[in-house]
């Protein structure tokens, strides 16, 4: 499997050739040597985001076009962990609509005692629910 650098470089090369531009012409447009463009295209050099932006402008494409063909099977792009995993705090998951509504409403509560009571209530419910799941698991080996 190609690295992300190689995949982006390949996309740059395809787009550059499709426009009939040489490596030297692209290099001149973005103030680099053609050797550096070669390194970007073969994936041996990482492309800083500002430089990728310059390349996108020179090739007349949107910067996100460089990511369209990236192989998303890499573990970096794996779906987020399931709730309840002890590693959740390392890889936060995006909030769904229900969670966003709850958070927005919670933030409107100014009374710190009420906020603390709500947090304790949610904690206790989560513990009860987790205990019920463990009990079910123990009954069904």
pTM: 0.52
pLDDT tens across the length of the chain (141 residues): 578 889 899 999 999 999 899 999 999 999 999 999 999 999 999 999 999 999 999 999 999 888 887 766 554 555 555 555 555 555 556 777 888 888 889 989 999 999 999 999 999 998 888 877 666 666 665
Nearest alpha-carbon partner for 103 in 127, 83, 122: 122
Greatest alpha-carbon span in the chain: 70
Residue 124's CB: how many other CB atoms inside 10 A? 10
**66, 11 in Cβ contact below 8 A?**
yes
Per-residue tokens: 133: 């799941």
With H, G, I as helix, E, B as strand and everything else as coil, classify residue 110: coil
């Amino acid at each position: 499997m190609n690295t992300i650098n190689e995949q982006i470089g390949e996309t740059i090369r395809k787009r550059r050739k499709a426009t009939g531009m040489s490596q030297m012409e692209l290099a001149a447009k973005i103030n680099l040597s053609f050797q550096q463009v070669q390194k970007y295209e073969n994936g041996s050099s990482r492309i800083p985001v500002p430089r990728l932006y310059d390349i996108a402008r020179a090739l007349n494409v949107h910067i996100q076009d460089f990511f369209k063909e990236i192989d998303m099977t890499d573990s970096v792009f794996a779906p987020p962990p399931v709730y309840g995993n002890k590693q959740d705090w390392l890889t936060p998951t995006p909030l769904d609509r229900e969670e966003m509504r709850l958070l927005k409403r919670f933030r409107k509560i100014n009374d710190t005692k009420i906020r603390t009571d709500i947090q304790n209530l949610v904690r206790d419910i989560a513990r009860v629910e987790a205990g019920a799941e463990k009990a079910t698991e123990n009954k069904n080996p």
